[in-house]
A and B are shown apart, each in its own frame.
Chain A
Amino acid sequence: MRIEVEGLRVAYDGRTVVCGVDLFAAPGEITGLIGPNGSGKSSVLRTVYRHLRPASGRVLLDGTDLATLSPARSARHVAALPQERGGDFELTVHEVVAMGRTPYKRAFAGEDDGDRAIVADALDRVGMARYGTRAFSALSGGERQRVLLARTLAQDPDVLVLDEPTNHLDVRHQVELLALLRAQHRTTLVSLHDLNAAASVCDRLHVLRAGEVVASGTPLEVLTPTLIADVFGVRAAVIGHPLTGDPLIAFDHTATVAAPPP
């Protein structure tokens, strides 16, 4: 399904953090949001998974305004992997993944065989099939993130929304998680800090600065030395990756450049 964000404005405590954003994620593609800290990436994503309400503007799912759907109904279409880490409340891996069934369940309804099969399948897809009975809190960071991805898969969504899913992961786990994401072939909207990861995994990028989209297109079109200097304030060369051919951004770590004031 196609996600379209139209004229989105988001305000926190009276401060506008997203001012008139238009962007889209095409069906089956991985669409990346990149931009410096505080550029509004997370706020845009939070509006898509309905943690935040737009001050104005809309989020459309194949043309339907998400705000017209009940929260449970839109959660059957859009699943989210936010950045937050919850408390330790003695949940097993299976229980965490089974939460993905929440939007499908009525009050008092138990878990049926269908749910259990879906949970097992989701765990299998992220390579955690043997971990169902483990304590979630006893997992490593990389394992946790895969289990949380399995939770979004158990939600059987049309659209996956992920906020910095590779944060705090070592490089191998980053590569694994992004490969898993690719393998799902679902419409995906993901924010990433790592521009090289974004260049290799995303079909399309939207660049945010100070709450506005300043560039959109394929990684090759968007990730130019000029844009990187303008938006991120660093010098970089963009070359072809010797192994994959993807754009490879080589930063100059010795000096920043003055970014134009937002």
Chain B
Amino acid sequence: MRTAPSADVDEARGKAPRAAESGDRDARTVPVGLLLSGLAVTLLLALTAAVSWGSSGVPFTDVWSTVLHRLTGGQPRPGTQDLIVWQLRVPRALLAAVVGAGLGVVGTAVQALVRNPLADPYLLGISNGASLGAVAAIVLGAGTGGLLGLGVSGAAFLGALLSFALVWAVARRGGAFSPLRLVLAGVAIGQFLSGFTSYLVLRVGDEQQTQGVLFWLLGSLGGAQWSTLALPAAAVLLGLLALQARARALNALLLGDETAAGLGVDVAALRRELFVVTSVLTGVLVSVSGAVGFVGLMVPHLCRLVVGGDHRRLLPVSALTGAVLLVVVDIVCRTALPSTELPVGVVTAFVGAPVLLFLLDRRLERAR
């Protein structure tokens, strides 16, 4: 093969003067390693702030001394500070980071899976099944120790599996889980299951239960405990690894199924794997936090603006950005109103809708 003139190689690496049209892509020259390090530092700061700020403030230094003391195997110090920092706020802040990271990753993958930038983790009906499970546990299982002895989270995950099985059965017909079939199956089955949820809430639940259900449906990180943190954290980490291993195939899928096939991607197998990974991950996330909206839609878009569409960069950047975003949002939820806590979904919707409109505006502007 003929060797290319070195100037072209430099240009391909993004060193040559760029064309005017690509002016909005300057951020791409930021090395992704530096960006990820910056995001990691930001996440650490956000986590510290999340533990520090609240109804009773704890100075940053005390936050870290308590955390380091406990991390190095120290016994709980007497007083309320250990309780507030280590038992309540650290698990909650970490859960926010895990759920945010998971939603960012799943959102990115689902958008590639159905090749639609407006897709989000809840498009394929998994969250509707989880909601049905959770609501059934809250409403039917009240006072009897939860549905079949499962907690709300267990029932939610069971519901997620139920809708996954239904969507799978419908979408696999005719072969390759085509994007259109997946979306139609997901939306139809999601609505179907939502019908059951609404029925349960209206006909069976009492007023107090209804409020509990509403809070759950809007998403909440209030249930965070150390004991319930490991499973979602492991799921997000494994999910990210599984998707990162397929990052090139995901890229190929963006250009189309036939293009991907021509690049040596087994498209049918890839779609199956993506559907399983994103569904399980969504099920786990919704089980622990309810269906927190907008994060899975907004984060991939924001990150694409900065690092472009290549999934090798987009997946880790989306994970960290989602984590930072949800940690910050949860701070707002806990501190915005003096005596009461806002559901996470309310704040993500308030932040997410304007951001989405801004992105849409920008996209239309460019298309002109």
A interface, CB within 8 angstroms of B: 13, 46, 49-51, 70-76, 78-92, 94-96, 99-100, 102-103, 105, 107-108, 110, 116-121, 123-124, 129-135, 138, 152, 155-156, 161
Question: Can you name 10 extra interface pairs (CB under 8 A) apart from A75-B263, A130-B19, A133-B19?
Answer: A51-B257, A82-B259, A84-B257, A89-B117, A95-B309, A102-B248, A120-B11, A129-B4, A129-B8, A129-B11
Contact A133 B248 (CB under 8 A): no
Q: How many chain-B residues does the 8 Å CB contact rule pick out?
A: 51
Contact A133 B304 (CB under 8 A): no
Write the B300-312 contact mask toward A (1 if CB under 8 angstroms, else 0): 0000110011101
Contact B117 A108 (CB under 8 A): no
Please give me the residue from chain B that is nearest to A135 by CB atom.
B22
Contact A107 B246 (CB under 8 A): yes
Of the A-B pairs whose beta carbons lie under 8 Å apart in the complex, a sample of 11, sorted by A's number, is A49-B258, A51-B267, A71-B266, A81-B262, A89-B309, A90-B309, A116-B13, A119-B12, A120-B9, A121-B1, A152-B262
Given the complex of chains A and B, what is the CA–CA distance between A51 and B305 in angstroms?
Answer: 32
Contact B264 A92 (CB under 8 A): no
Contacts of A90 in B (CB 8 A): 304-305, 308-309
A-B contacts at CB below 8 angstroms, number: 161
Given the complex of chains A and B, what is the CA–CA distance between A22 and B1 in angstroms?
Answer: 33
**9 closest A-B pairs by CB:** A75-B264, A80-B262, A86-B255, A72-B264, A82-B258, A103-B264, A84-B256, A89-B309, A107-B245
Q: Given that A51-B257, A95-B309, A99-B255 are contacting pairs, would A132 and B12 also be in contact in the complex, using a CB cutoff of 8 Å?
A: yes
Please give me the residue from chain A that is nearest to B112 by CB atom.
A89
Contact B3 A117 (CB under 8 A): yes
CB distance from B311 to the nearest CB of A (A): 9
B interface, CB within 8 angstroms of A: 1-5, 8-9, 11-14, 16, 18-19, 21-22, 25, 28, 111-112, 115-117, 174, 244-246, 248-249, 251-252, 254-259, 261-267, 304-305, 308-310, 312, 366
CB distance from A59 to the nearest CB of B (A): 13
Given the complex of chains A and B, what is the CA–CA distance between A258 and B87 in angstroms?
Answer: 84
Contacts of B16 in A (CB 8 A): 130, 132-133
CB distance from A133 to the nearest CB of B (A): 5
Contact A74 B264 (CB under 8 A): yes
Contacts of B1 in A (CB 8 A): 118, 121, 156
CB distance from B142 to the nearest CB of A (A): 46
Contact A95 B21 (CB under 8 A): no
Please give me the residue from chain A that is nearest to B264 by CB atom.
A75
CB distance from B338 to the nearest CB of A (A): 42
CB distance from B39 to the nearest CB of A (A): 19
Please give me the residue from chain B that is nearest to A49 by CB atom.
B262
Contacts of B261 in A (CB 8 A): 46, 49-51, 71, 80
CB distance from A82 to the nearest CB of B (A): 4
